[in-house]
């Protein structure tokens, strides 16, 4: 009898979603709906409540690690895998809307593409986005992930990634989940070292973006194009001599693509 009641509840929950979407669902009901696909033939309502209580919110549950989730009684490997899959799945979905090989030629496009990479991230991550001569993305790689306030990045792996994928230029991006959006001195030092390491192999760095909450700091924009609103800011050359507050941070390469210079960072 209990199994029939649970089965009926599951069916009603799924039918409600098909009719209404998730707009009328509470956090624990959304979680319960997800859990029905990982835990068959069991009432998962108490487990959904227990997870929300343990991690504080639906977002907290989805951002927890598999090991943290499996510490909650009733959560097995299947349920933990399904829940931890959600943030990277949503990130992939957001990026897929830009196409398989999107063109990133301005800050607005860079924010959209790279912002999706940090969806649900609660530790610091550093990405290298490889681009061809047309500013088209050819490869994106998570170079490092660290604690909530630090991540170690060295130039050599960046050079290896760029050469392996025949990049003409790279876009760097990392996040500050536990701090402020302004670059630290280490951020400038790291960027300068990467630019210097890539220059001898003919690979440029178009920008280094730092994400913090809903804000993003562009090293290129803040160093040279303070007068340009983000939607108009372009990584392609419109003029060789653009006045700026910190000197000419970028130089034009042979294909009209602006790249950072290490001596001016």
By C-alpha distance, which of 119, 123, 120, 95 is closest to 109? 95
Q: What is the pLDDT of residue 237?
A: 52
- CA 83, CA 77: separation in Å to the nearest integer? 10
Low-confidence ranges of the chain (pLDDT < 70): 1-7, 147-151, 223-233, 237-256, 258, 262-265
User: Quick one: which H or E segment has residue 15?
Assistant: helix 2-20
Q: Phi, psi (5° rounding) for residue 38? A: -110, -25
Q: What is the pLDDT of residue 251?
A: 59
Q: What is the pLDDT of residue 201?
A: 94
Do the Cβ atoms of 176 and 153 come closer than 8 Å?
Answer: no
Q: Which residues pair with 226 in a beta bridge?
A: none
- CA 54, CA 173: separation in Å to the nearest integer? 32
List pLDDT tens digits, range 74-117.
Answer: 999 999 999 998 888 887 787 777 777 889 988 889 988 998 88
Name the pTM for this structure. 0.69
User: Quick one: which H or E segment has residue 27?
Assistant: helix 27-35
List pLDDT tens digits, range 202-232.
Answer: 999 999 999 987 788 999 887 644 344 445 5
Q: What is the pLDDT of residue 47?
A: 95
Stated length of the chain: 265
Q: How far is CA 16 from CA 10, 30, 42, 50, 240, in A?
A: 10, 11, 19, 23, 59
């Amino acid at each position: 009898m209990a199994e029939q009641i649970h089965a009926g509840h599951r069916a009603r929950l799924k039918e409600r979603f098909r009719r209404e979407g998730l707009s009328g669902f509470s956090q624990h009901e959304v979680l319960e709906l997800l859990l029905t696909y990982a835990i068959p033939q069991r009432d998962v309502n108490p487990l959904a409540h227990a997870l929300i209580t343990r991690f504080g919110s639906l977002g907290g549950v989805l951002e927890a690690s598999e090991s943290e989730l499996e510490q909650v009684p009733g959560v097995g490997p299947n349920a933990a895998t399904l829940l931890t899959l959600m943030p990277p799945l949503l990130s992939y979905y957001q990026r897929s809307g830009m196409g398989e090989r999107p063109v990133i030629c301005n800050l607005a496009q860079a924010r959209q593409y790279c912002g999706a990479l940090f969806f649900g991230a609660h530790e610091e991550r550093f990405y290298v986005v490889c681009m061809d001569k047309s500013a088209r993305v050819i490869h994106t790689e998570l170079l490092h992930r660290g604690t909530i306030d630090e991540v170690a990045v060295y130039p050599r792996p960046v050079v290896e990634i760029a050469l392996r994928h025949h990049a003409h230029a790279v876009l760097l991006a990392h996040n500050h989940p536990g701090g402020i959006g302004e670059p630290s001195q280490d951020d400038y030092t790291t960027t300068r070292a990467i630019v210097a390491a890539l220059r001898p192999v003919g690979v440029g760095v178009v920008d280094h973006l730092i994400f913090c909450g809903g804000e993003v700091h562009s090293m290129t924009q803040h160093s040279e194009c303070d007068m340009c609103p983000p939607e108009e800011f372009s990584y392609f050359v419109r003029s060789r001599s653009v006045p700026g507050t910190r000197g000419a941070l970028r130089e034009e390469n042979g294909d009209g693509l602006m790249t950072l210079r290490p001596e001016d960072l």
